A and B are shown apart, each in its own frame.
Chain A
């Protein structure tokens, strides 16, 4: 089987981590709704929050907001803050109206926000009550997407973790792949796994509630996304076994991810080679085109999605970039350890953020490419730093072999653009 070689000088797993607290320039977990609702086609996400929450979703969803999306905000008003019992009645009424208008909805998520949590509005009680009332047509669950509890992609984690306890029990020895992937990517993954003779493969989240996602003591699960810490723990509580692996970015990451699963399910090295050889060659070729622009360029990651460490691994090993700082909102050894092993020593590894101090470091480093959020991107461009805005990495298909070239190109494009624009007068 094809394991990537560890870096000669050692990886970053035991490197000291710069832990920072202070102002964090990050999204809250509510943002996860924007891509989750596309994936789960019979689900509606009802945020119980303030006008700020609705405004955030509107800003994050862009033009999606005009396409009758399956999410909304029950905006708390002054009267709701006065008495607790009232708020529960109000919520029941809003849910009643929503479900009568949208008979296609089979799963309803009550999503907690900062205001709903600070006033201690019990959404789990509400979910139980509403589930009983609307069963069997609609299942109502709750989770927190608040900024005080979750950072950006952790919203997906909280949502999936809320689903784990209610998944049907199975005794089958099956593979469960966890993490919302774009449909096209998911199909490629399933076809690779079926080529390896692994199946049926269960998915979390599935595209609809009737899909047979089940879990049990013989389930082995692989994470497709690096931000699923809570879901990872919830699955372990159901007795399922984690297959640790680097995340499937790039040719090497995808191969290592598949290899870990193949080992778990006893696939022969010959068969593995046979299935992966052609797509590996394609991926290497596609990455090589972008790597011409990226090789030797320095790289700085602001914390955003927890995809930073695996992406830094891909960009340094497969594209020849030199990471200077790799910051993540959270780092968990069980999830990020395999990627840290492969990331060559050198970069500062940071957890958390104090944005002004981090900006000082970026200015001192003057990296060739800075990966950051939309609040920082234009200001840094104005200071002469090329940036790649991070949120695109969550929305664009980037996983597995066929997307490896696109992934590298996302990082190459800002650098090529900077080289292409010549607005000064000729001298």
Chain B
């Protein structure tokens, strides 16, 4: 059993729903208790879809458990097929139905429906949402592509002379973070490069489209979390190579262009394509100088976390002080990316661990998920969202890709926005106790009143101090701040104060001091600056 305040992913059957809902002419019959239909709201509310997800739930209740829940499932499958007439029927169980072991796959097969059945085995107590999506997509691609698998040892036939190179775009789903606009941005980029998009899947595809995947020359693996398993199988079975680079950020997009052109066997001038990006110039302009070495902590799914770390370090000039992911399936890639930045990656799905790490590091900016927003609020650190899980505000009406050159512009704006602007930062450092721009007021461009950021009272969050207070291992000593040192510490701008406090204490412990004086504070400052 695990204490979970917030979960980074839903259960695996939600991943399967994301595939079904992304597609046309697919229906999913889910053996699940009453109440599991809450998942419909993810699509109708958070993503604001105009249609109900194509999911029929058995919604059994306690009184059904004494009777024949298997019969209930068969009825649901029969009526769902009759009503919706899908070209493919997915069947599976939610976590509670997994416990009662009715075998939806076997039951559905016994119904003899005139439609392919995709039975899903998604272990709800071991695996999670993205795995569920990846597994569902992979099983579907396998089922519908089986007639086109190359015999062992046979190479893929060369592209017909004069034919345009073509690719599939794999991975975008319903409820994916900015998938809608990423697909548009990348499709346009590929078109401009002279590459045709054969099928985008699962988003917008139907089972017939899935059966056509083998036709493309190669695959663009846009979201490894959901497409890796299918892409790997297609490389093996159809001889289609797939892309490795993720087109997030200015440089990421350039690398992606180079890679797809190589896979398509075409020449292209990467520089020419790069001219449209304002993000690069914005980062180079002097207004951005104050962003240099701002300490940033990054957490999210592996794809977005790795990409964000690269953008933060190499395009924004931030200092990445922490990098982690909840995507265990891609832990190795994140470890490599962290090592390149001289860090050890955090691989965890435990919100409390992430919270503890951020508390310890005291970054000036957090790039994370909706869950890191909770931590950021508690620690009063600016925060921007780079990855699922996200909520309704991150399914915006406006065009907001993360990928491609336009995506790089979106990243620049949204990451810089929560930070205090340069001039204000300077003046706060110079003059304290201003009646309006006082210490601890929120950045004024965020439109908050100048109320203090720190609530000094206890109230509901009275337990919070315990965690925010650093817990350095001092053996049996206690470390005390002298009053004037504490006062001096409070003159340091709040966004670096947490770090200064920790550094000073660390220094004091190393020096074997029992109390921190004004001098200790400045000794520590000099020590860490050197």
Partners in one complex: no
